[in-house]
Structure 1
Amino acid sequence: MEASPTLTAGHSRLAHYPVAFFTLGMGMMGLTLALRAGEGAFGLGPEASRAALVLSLTLLGLVAAGYLAKALFHPAAVAADWHHPVRIAFFPAMPISLLLLSVALLDEAPSLAGQVWIAGAVLQALLALSVIAAWIGHRPFSHAQLTPVWFIPAVGNVIVPISGVPLGHPEIAWLFFSGGLVFWIVLLTLVMNRLMFHDPLPGRMVPTLMILVAPPAVSFVAWLKLTGEVGAFGHILLSIAYVFALIVGTQLPKFARMPFALSWWALSFPLAALTIASFAYAEAAASADHRMIGAGLLGLLVLVVSGLVLRTLLGIWRHEICRPE
């Protein structure tokens, strides 16, 4: 008995279920934490961030279930993702979502937050080491394959201290922070060389330029957790994040001409990280100016994520996603 065309088409789409979908989880969890930071800065109740957390968990669960189904029914396709020079960098987005969830659970469920943090940290370590081992192996890479997406494994490392320090794991937090910082600097050099001296990014990868903002913004928040003060290095990290945000802003006319793709979700988490960093500095330095910067960024983040969710749902409805590249 032959399978129906509908089932066959659905099975084929599952084989092309993108690992990049996990950036949706990062973006939604980033929105949750940014809302929570805004609530704290302005003395508001937690209703908005709690609602965002429920929505984030729902979407993250759906994304994880979809990729698990792909792994069960199309293991060769998952292996192809792993061996792809660009898609491999999206795998650490899975533990990053868990680490962000642990931050979101710190106040209301610290015991559960600790368990989620351990799972996220272990998976982050395994995937980050595996990705780096693949990078420094004997596979040749071309400059065209180097994109800001490669920052994702480094970003995951510097997220670990944000909940790791409050949970009582400072030494592990410093270990991850140090490794993430080193590889951010290495990758920043490589990516800037690619952007300045080689062919421009392909159209659908242009939004990933926003990922340049994430490492210094997240590192600033982690630095505050590790040291308890802004310090000179903290000022440098936050300033670098703002500089990269301004540089990405010069590319907005290009963004407006690009068709929608899942790569647009690259706008969400870095913007959330910059928002959270601004509120964190506002609290640490009693800066009303940074609190207003954070508020403006939060408003922009809500608009961006709302648009991305709606456009992603429309893309799923139109079968524009889960198609061969």
Structure 2
Amino acid sequence: MTTPTQLDSRLENFPISFFAMVMGMSGLTIGWEKAQHILGVDLGITPWLVGVTSLLFLTLVMLYGTKLVLYRQAVLSELRHPVKLNFFPTISISLLLLSIAFLPLAPELTRWLWLAGATLHLAFMLYVVNVWMHHDHFKVQHMNPAWFIPAVGNVLVPVAGVPLGYIDISWFFFSIGMLFWVMLMTIILYRVLFHDPIDERLMPTLFILIAPPAVGFIAYSRLVPELDAFGRILYYAGLFLTLLLFTQAARFLKLRFFLSWWAYSFPLAAISIASLVMFERSGNDLYRYLGLGLLTLLTGIILILLTRTANAVRQGGICVPGH
């Protein structure tokens, strides 16, 4: 039985990285919305997926908000941490993803979610980059693909922003995302190739490498009406990185469970949706089958992640000091 003292300790150590769950669930929701559109069917699952994802987001906001009130110093410690710092934009990214998920259901709610998400993400991005530029304690070992998270959020903005009519703002955020993708990709490859291997706990974050080009392709498809050379480059870059990581499946299967396993989910959702968009743009059935296959794989992985996370919470493996 969990005592009040243990509950207080868990709340104090409640990690900001929990919001990666919302990213994964949102990606699954948007993926199935897209798949139903492609297949011309309504499975009746969209309201359920959107509802569960929204409830998860609200629950995490309530828990982390309580932590902010009761354990402000613990939150400040995460804001100053070289790795955890980069997970704060998962809050604004969650708002942006929810705005995309609600787009076919409630356009007006989408607008408010998008405005809140874009504004908050710009604030997070400016804060994070300022910390990067003026730090006094970062080392090359601190660099890992989680640093992509602030950049990925920028690229998401056009997905709902263009249908809502915010064209110039969407180009602004897309440009920021592409700029930081190129810079961070160079630094991360340098880190991986010439320094010690990434810590086991952070190994799953390698899947985040897929997200910038995959999400970039989806966003670019909103901004530009035709499939052009740059769109193909973005998609095939994401596809190559997916294949590269799949060849390392044996390494990932040996890893112990950490909350960072949720890093598998959103990038796989992104390349799944990008493949379905590629089918729409090219008419090539290969991309439809690829997208649906990846979405099926993602669905199975999400179920595993939900089960493993629930077990870890019940057994006290999460929300403990040092995690």
Same fold (TM over 0.5): yes
- For 1:212, give the aligned amino acid: L
Q: Which residue in the other structure is 1:49 paired with?
A: 46
Matched ranges for 1:307-322 at <5 A = 307-322=304-319
Q: Could you list the per-position Cα deviations for residues 114-142 of structure 1 after superposition, in whole angstroms to 9, with x for gaps in the alignment?
A: 11100000000000110011001142321
Query: What is the alpha-carbon distance in structure 2 between the residues aligned to residue 314 and residue 176 of structure 1?
Result: 38
Query: What is the alpha-carbon distance in structure 2 between the residues aligned to residue 250 and residue 87 of structure 1?
Result: 28
Determine if the alignment matches structure 1 residue 276 to structure 2 residue 273: yes
Determine if the alignment matches structure 1 residue 239 to structure 2 residue 236: yes
Q: Which residue in the other structure is 1:123 paired with?
A: 120
**Correspondent of 1:11 among 8, 13, 21:** 8
Provide the identity percentage.
41
Matched ranges for 1:96-107 at <5 A = 96-107=93-104
Determine if the alignment matches structure 1 residue 299 to structure 2 residue 301: no
Q: Which residue in the other structure is 2:218 paired with?
A: 221
Determine if the alignment matches structure 1 residue 187 to structure 2 residue 184: yes
Q: Which residue in the other structure is 1:77 paired with?
A: 74
Matched ranges for 1:202-213 at <5 A = 202-213=199-210
What is the alpha-carbon root mean square deviation over aligned residues?
1.2
SS of the equivalent of 1:82 reads helix
- For 1:198, give the aligned amino acid: H
Q: Is the 8 A contact 1:36 1:46 kept in 2?
A: no
Q: Is the 8 A contact 2:50 2:102 kept in 1?
A: no
Q: Which residue in the other structure is 1:175 paired with?
A: 172
TM-score w.r.t. length of structure 1 = 0.97
TM-score w.r.t. length of structure 2 = 0.98
Unaligned runs of 5+ in 2: none
Q: Is the 8 A contact 1:223 1:230 kept in 2?
A: no
Q: Is the 8 A contact 1:32 1:50 kept in 2?
A: no
Determine if the alignment matches structure 1 residue 37 to structure 2 residue 28: no
Q: Which residue in the other structure is 1:136 paired with?
A: 133
Q: Could you list the per-position Cα deviations for residues 208-245 of structure 1 after superposition, in whole angstroms to 9, with x for gaps in the alignment?
A: 10000000000000000001122000000000001101
Query: What is the alpha-carbon distance in structure 2 between the residues aligned to residue 271 and residue 138 of structure 1?
Result: 32
Q: Which residue in the other structure is 1:157 paired with?
A: 154
- For 1:315, give the aligned amino acid: A
Q: Which runs of 4+ in 1 moved over 4 A?
A: none
Number of positions where the alignment pairs a residue of Structure 1 with one of Structure 2: 322
Q: Which residue in the other structure is 2:320 paired with?
A: 323
- For 1:45, give the aligned amino acid: D
